[in-house]
Chains A and B, each alone.
Chain A
Amino acid sequence: MNKVLSKWRVAFASAAVAAMVGTSLAPPALAAPTLKKGLKVFVVPKNLGNSYFTTADSVKTHGALFALKQLGEIGQETSGTTDTPASQLPVIQSDITKGANALIISGTDPNALCPTLNAAMKKGIVVVTYDSDTNCRDLFVDQATPQGIGDIEVDIIAKEINYTGQIAIVSASIDDTNQNTWIGYMKQELKKYPHVKLVQVVYGNDDTATSVSVTEGLLSRFPHLKGIISPTTVGIAAAASVLDNSKYRGKVKLTGLGTPDEMKKYVADGTVQEFALWNPANLGYLAAYAAVYLASHAITNAKGQSFVAGSLGKFTVGADHTVLLGPPFVFNKSNINQFNF
């Protein structure tokens, strides 16, 4: 009743990154910059026990901690137990006390962490956010442009409902920065499809049971609903399970951001045709490299600065001190079984 759990997971296929790397122009190679070793880097996801972040951070999946190990840094994953700033703050404070050189954070809140993070940056600690931004950091490593995400969601669903009909969105928490940004872009993209109408946005709070209930409410309330977008892995899995077991399967189309593992069943039985993702491990890996480059003073966070993130290739800092991983990748029946996260 009174617990708001907000966590969301998204992933991106490395194929798309490879494509992006291939198309990026490379100026004459500079001498390899000296990166410091032995830096204390703490990876602070939104909360522990979240499989998306486990994929993003762990050594096994070649995420952030793997990159740090490769670079010879001292990496550790720490966080709180709930997706709240109250839970994340003590951990960040501790990490600072333990002598962090850099923090890689997925923000539970755009502002509540700022007093602490600003003080940290003043002390010279590098703060890199990944996955979920805060208003106080040196760099933000973004999984894809918010516009790219918003656009592809709408494009997929519009196509699936033949460009006519009502759609709804099953989101995560009503406070979620990335959710609201993406929904904003979705509304803009919808203008391209005059016969597709967004009737409601509901909030599942990234809690499975709540997401199921709000989806059921949607279906009962809008008899003419044709499509649902759920840009959160918990939401899309929940909506899929509702559709799968009800008379709406196949009649109401579903897309969103989900992990291949969660979606395999629903893609196989036709509940979901296509959905988008990116690889969270690549996101963590990239964030780790960005943090180490910054902490080694090999780059600054100014626009135009570029660096080579190990096996992922070259990246450049864009506007608003953001580094982009790449465009979202679309999964469907033909390729989903190639992935295991």
Chain B
Amino acid sequence: MVQPEATIGVPAGSAKAPTAASEPVARGAVAPPRKRLRRWSRLALRWEGALVVALALTVALGAVTSRQFLTASNVFSNISLLYGELAMMTLPMTLIIVSGEIDLSVASTLALANSLVGYLWVQHWPMPAVIVCVLATGVACGALNGLLVTRVGLPSLAVTIGTMTLYAGISELVLGPAIITSFPASYTSIGVDPVPGTAGLLSYSALAYIALAVIFALVLHATAFGRSVTAIGYNKEAAQFAGIRVKHVKTMLFVTSGLVSAMAGVLYTFRLSTAEANNGTTLVLPVVAVVLLGGVSIFGGRGTMLGVVLAVLVYCGLQSALLLTNFNSNALELVTGGLLLLSVLIPNGGELAARARRLGGRHLKGGL
């Protein structure tokens, strides 16, 4: 959402990610393995470590307040069933934010997918064809975002605010006032039954999330593509000069985001066994919040999939635990907002210190 030279919200602060991180860029966007390992382990101590602690606290909170918290049925119905789609959307969002962009249209793509499933089903298309068509639409939605950002050169924040509105609007036009609920039980059973063989714990969307999370983690951390995503986030120009096809990479990210959102939309439709206009459009803010909570920097160039996965678990666990403790739903929003604030205030303590040291003229070697 932000090219490195255009900082958002930090008027006189660092225009890029902290200096320490710019070292690897100077060497051609990839630090040597040993240095990288040290940097990651330092990171792990800082942010992911904190998330692990938060997760442990959440589980403790839940277990203490309700005997049911750690039961399979609670984990299934109150966590894995309800948050699978949200969790899925955090995966491409992570890559997009790491690359320095943002995609606010994910929830609207989900809503459009939801409407389309209903519409095509009522037109008597066979379900497999419906699914393929809907996924293709998701790809098209992502492609439009990618096109506007990379070819026309528009800022992704503005573009995706526009497409967020546009796609939600199209979802309303597709279905109008109709509500479709006549989906075959073989599909809608995913809203009720856990995946066989998972000890009654996982829903289909949660399973999809886990599978995708592994793929996305591997891509981000173990492939050249993933490294180029991070490099673009650090410094788009340097990445360009290092031979990375920035436009191609970014377009792929948006397309993937559209595809995954459409997938989530299909699963959402079957889980609720309902297709109606504008279903699910409120999901976008929690998705962004969870990714940021996972330690991904809004400026790009920094973030781990592990962090985001932990953040997803903390978020879902907290929601479930708090609901079981008779917390008012409004208090949940307070907690989400508070967590989000903390997630940016805390690392900034480190950044302020880093800035002070940098001004003192010393280079930081791979540390933060």
Chains A and B share a contact (CB less than 8 Å): yes
Could you tell me if B78 and A97 are in contact, using CB atoms closer than 8 angstroms? yes
Residues from chain A with a CB closer than 8 A to the CB of B326 are 76, 78
B282 touches A94 (CB 8 A): no
Chain A binding surface SS class: loop
Chain A interface residue count, CB cutoff 8 Å, equals 36
Contact residues of A between 114 and 150, Cβ < 8 Å to B: 114-116, 118-119
Q: Does A268 contact B (CB under 8 A)?
A: no
Inter-chain contact B82/A3, CB cutoff 8 Å: no
Q: Does chain B have a CB within 8 A of A48?
A: yes
User: Is the CB–CB distance between B164 and A81 below 8 Å?
Assistant: no
User: A80 in the interface, Cβ–Cβ < 8 Å?
Assistant: yes
Contact residues, B256-279 vs A (CB, 8 A): 271-274, 276-279
Residues of chain A contacted by B78 (CB below 8 angstroms) = 90, 93-94, 97
Are A115 and B191 in contact, with the CB atoms below 8 A?
A: yes
Give the size category of B's interface with A: 35 or more
Asked whether, in the complex, the Cβ of A96 is within 8 Å of the Cβ of B329, the reply is no
Q: Does B20 contact A (CB under 8 A)?
A: no
Q: Which of B165, B277, B329, B330 has the most CB of A within 10 A?
A: B329
A312 proximal to B (CB < 8 A)? no
Q: Quick one: closest B residue to A174, CB to CB?
A: B177
Please tell me if the beta carbons of B165 and A109 are within 8 angstroms of each other in the complex: no
A112 interface contact, C-beta 8 A:
yes
B145 proximity list for chain A (CB < 8 A)? none
Q: Given the interface contacts A2-B278, A78-B329, does A97 sit within 8 Å of B179 by beta carbon? A: no
Contacts of A298 in B (CB 8 A): none
Give Cα A90–Cα B68 distance, bound, in whole angstroms. 15
Given known A109-B274, A115-B191, contact A48–B330 (CB-CB < 8 A)? yes
A159 interface contact, C-beta 8 A: no
- Interface segment out of the listed B50-58, B231-239, B316-324: B316-324
CB-CB nearest in chain A for B268:
A86
* Chain B residues whose C-beta falls within 8 Å of the C-beta of A81 in the assembled complex: 329-330, 332-333
Known: A90-B319, A93-B77. A79 touches B274 (CB 8 A): no
Find out whether the CB atom of B324 lies under 8 angstroms from the CB atom of A98: yes
* Residues A82 and B324 in contact in the complex (CB < 8 Å), given A93-B81, A97-B78, A98-B66: no
User: Inter-chain contact count A-B, CB under 8 Å?
Assistant: 98
Contact check, B66 vs A97: say whether CB atoms are below 8 A apart. Answer: yes
Chain A residues with Cβ below 8 Å from B179 are 109-111, 175
Residues of A within 8 A of B320 (CB): 90, 94
Q: Which of B77, B191, B319 lies at the interface centre, i.e. has the most chain A CB atoms within 10 A of its CB?
A: B77
Whether A175 and B276, one on each chain, are in contact in the complex, defined by CB atoms closer than 8 angstroms, is: yes
Residue-wise, chain B 322-340 has the 8 Å CB interface mask toward A (1 for contact) of 0110101110110000000
**Shortest Cβ gap from B107 to chain A (Å):** 8
- Inter-subunit contact A82/B282 (CB<8 Å): yes
- CA–CA, A115 and B176, complex, Å: 24
In whole angstroms, what is the CA distance A48 to B332 when docked? 13
- For B57-87 the 0/1 string (1 means CB < 8 A from A) is 0000000001010010110011001100000
Q: Determine the distance from Cα of A115 to Cα of B283 in the docked complex, in whole angstroms.
A: 21
User: Are B77 and A115 in contact (CB-based, < 8 A)?
Assistant: no
* Cα of A89 to Cα of B283 in the assembled complex, Å: 14
A300 at the interface (CB under 8 A from B): no
Measured CA separation A86–B284 after assembly (Å): 13
Q: CA separation between A110 and B165, bound complex, in Å?
A: 26
Contact of A112 with B282 at beta-carbon distance under 8 Å, contacts A48-B328, A81-B329 already known: no
| A25 lies within 8 A of chain B by Cβ | no
B343 at interface by CB-CB < 8 Å? no
- Among residues of B, the one whose C-beta sits closest to the C-beta of A77 is B328
Q: Is the CB of B82 within 8 A of A115?
A: no
- Listed by A's residue number, 21 A-B pairs whose Cβ atoms lie within 8 Å are A2-B108, A3-B281, A81-B329, A81-B332, A86-B272, A86-B279, A86-B280, A86-B283, A89-B82, A91-B323, A94-B323, A98-B324, A99-B68, A109-B179, A109-B272, A109-B276, A111-B272, A112-B273, A115-B188, A116-B77, A175-B177
Residues of A within 8 A of B (CB): 1-4, 48-49, 76, 78-82, 84-87, 89-91, 93-94, 96-99, 109-112, 114-116, 118-119, 174-175
Name B residues whose Cβ lies closer than 8 Å to a Cβ of A.
Answer: 66, 68, 71, 73-74, 77-78, 81-82, 108, 164-165, 168, 176-177, 179, 181, 188, 191-192, 271-274, 276-283, 319-320, 323-324, 326, 328-330, 332-333
